Structures are given as C-alpha cells and as structure tokens.
C-alpha cells in the first residue's frame, strides 16, 4: 500500500535535477516529504527546485552539491547533510551516466562503474548511521533492464584492457542490482530494520539517452516515442519502491508491461542466476577496498 502522507520524512534523491529523479522528487514532495536534491550541477539543481516550487508552493525542497564521480565530494555531502539532519528516512540512489566515451572519475575509476555504483556504494555506507537510527528507513537503488546479460569483469573494472560503453553501462547497472540485494541481506543478518530495494524505470525518455553528447539527438527523440514511456511513468517504480508499505526488502520493482519496458510498477523477478552469492560478496569486498568506505552494521 503506497503511503500517501510522508510528512516529517526526509528523502535524499541523487541526480534529481532531471528525468526520473526530478519526477520522483516532485511526487514525494507532494506527499509531504522534505526532499534533498543531491546534484552535481548546482545551476540545474536550482532550476529544478524553482520548477517544483512553482507547481507546489508547499513543497519542502533543498538542493545540495554532490558529485558521485568524486569520493571527496561524497564525503563532503554526507558531512554537510549530517550537520543539518539527524535522521534519514529514504535514500534514493538514482543518478547515473549512460554510455559516455571512455573516461575516469576523479579517483581513477571507469566513469560508469565509478559514478553509478561506487559513488552510491560510498554514499550509502557513509549515511548508514543515520539510516540505522531512523525507524522504517529504506534505501532504493536504481538498476536497469541493461543488467540483463551483463557480468562483472573484475579483471577490467577500470576499462584499461578495453572499453565498450554499453557493456560497461550494463556492468554498472548489474552492480547496482547486486549491491541492493546484498545490502538487504546484510541488514537482515545484523538485525537492522532498514530495508534495501532495487527498481528500474523500464525504457524512459530522459536525458540519459543523450549518447554522451549533452542533449538527446532529435532523431532519437522521435524514435523514443515508439518504445519508451515518459519520465513521469518511468518514475513510478522509484516512488513505489520508496513509499510502498508492503515491501520487506530485497525486492526488484519495474514496469509490468512487455519486456518490462513500459507500464505500471510491479515486483519483477530477475533472470535465474543473477543473484550469484560469490559475485555479490566479491563485488562488496572490492567496492569497500576501492572506496575506502566500510559499512558499520
């Protein structure tokens, strides 16, 4: 059952200045939550805040600087957040980069794996103390149907032995899904009430489809109408994952239509073998070592 009243709840959404994150911020603020837009581009973040406020004068929204491709920025964000807030009800790991040319984060990680997975891994670990002490808290991590057929190539995580943009995107989104499940497993093992849920937007018409060029090309916009859904629909699985009372942790929420590309949110069963325990454990260990963030359960 979707909570209609989120008054008094504090929500962080990464990458909330556009697309899925923006739509989720709008909806959750309509339900009364105090929403923090954690964004890399402060100018775009301010525009997003203004846009939400124009549509809803009662909205409780703030913008904070966060660059997931820079672990120092992640640490600065969490310190600043903890100075202002003593609880955290919902963390939505939404931000992502998709199929850019080969590049690296400030810390030398391949850009997609570093931003999409490692940045969120570190952020979640650093915010865990607040999540643990907030009753009914949850972490929502966005994956993608691009995780299908993907694998984690532990011998080439930095792309130095070859890079294919879509392959590395799939790897980062598989990492998001495995992290969400492994986090939930560990929370339950330690008797912590916080839950972790994964979701994906299907194929949604957002800025992610810019092919690394800043704006979505016009020909792509035309094609997108046929096989995608608008961002408002794409955000529904995120909202469901964030605010549905019936979830107990470990679920994967996606659109209920054909191929899970479009539709309304429903619990989805990933392909058999996706949740490989050995891979999940290894990914967790590698992520802690690379980020220097060790979860204090």
The DSSP line for 16-40 is: TTSHHHHHHHHHHHHTT-EEEEEES
Model confidence at 69: pLDDT above 70: yes
Q: Determine contact, residues 253/267, Cβ cutoff 8 Å.
A: yes
pLDDT of residue 172: 97
Global pTM? 0.93
Domain extents for the chain? 10-291
230 or 241: which leads in pLDDT: 241
Model confidence at 257: pLDDT above 90: no
Average pLDDT over residues 126-155: 95
Give the dihedral sign, CA 167/168/172/175: positive
CA distances from 274 to 78, 222, 267, 283, 284 (A): 31, 33, 16, 13, 15
CATH superfamily of 10-291: NAD(P)-binding Rossmann-like Domain (3.40.50.720)
Q: Which pLDDT tens digit goes with each residue over 174-184?
A: 999 999 999 99
Going by pLDDT thresholds of 50, 70 and 90, the confidence category of residue 3 is confident
pLDDT of residue 170: 96
User: Rounded CA gap, 194 and 249, in Å?
Assistant: 8
Average pLDDT over residues 122-137: 97
What is residue 71's three-state secondary structure? helix
Model confidence at 297: pLDDT above 60: yes
Pairing state between β 34-39 and 60-65: parallel
Which residues are part of the catalytic machinery? 169
Model confidence at 29: pLDDT above 70: yes
């Amino acid at each position: 059952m979707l909570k209609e009243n989120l008054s008094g709840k504090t929500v962080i959404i990464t990458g909330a200045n556009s697309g899925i994150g923006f739509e989720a911020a709008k909806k959750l603020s309509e339900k009364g939550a105090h929403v923090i837009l954690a964004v890399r581009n402060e100018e775009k973040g301010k525009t997003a805040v203004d846009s939400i406020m124009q549509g809803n004068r009662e909205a409780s929204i703030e913008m904070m600087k966060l660059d997931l491709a820079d672990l120092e920025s992640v640490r600065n964000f969490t310190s600043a957040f903890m100075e202002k807030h003593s609880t955290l009800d919902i963390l939505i790991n939404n931000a992502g980069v998709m199929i850019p040319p080969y590049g690296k984060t400030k810390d030398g990680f391949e850009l997609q794996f570093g931003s999409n997975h490692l940045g969120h891994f570190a952020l979640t670990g650093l915010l865990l103390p607040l999540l643990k002490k907030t009753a009914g808290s949850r972490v929502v991590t966005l994956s993608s149907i691009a995780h299908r057929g993907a694998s984690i190539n532990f011998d080439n995580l930095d792309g130095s032995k070859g890079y294919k943009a879509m392959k590395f995107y799939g790897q980062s989104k598989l990492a998001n899904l495995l992290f969400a499940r492994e986090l939930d497993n560990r929370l339950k093992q330690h008797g912590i009430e916080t839950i972790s849920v994964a979701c994906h937007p299907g194929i949604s018409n957002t800025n992610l489809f810019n092919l690394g060029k800043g704006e979505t090309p016009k020909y792509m916009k035309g094609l997108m109408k046929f096989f995608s859904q608008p961002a408002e629909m794409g955000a529904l699985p995120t909202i469901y994952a964030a605010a549905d009372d019936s979830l107990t942790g470990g679920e994967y929420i996606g659109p209920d239509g054909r191929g899970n590309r479009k539709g309304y949110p429903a619990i989805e069963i990933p392909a058999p073998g996706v949740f490989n325990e050995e891979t999940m454990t290894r990914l967790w260990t590698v992520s802690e070592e690379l980020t220097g963030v060790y979860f204090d359960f």
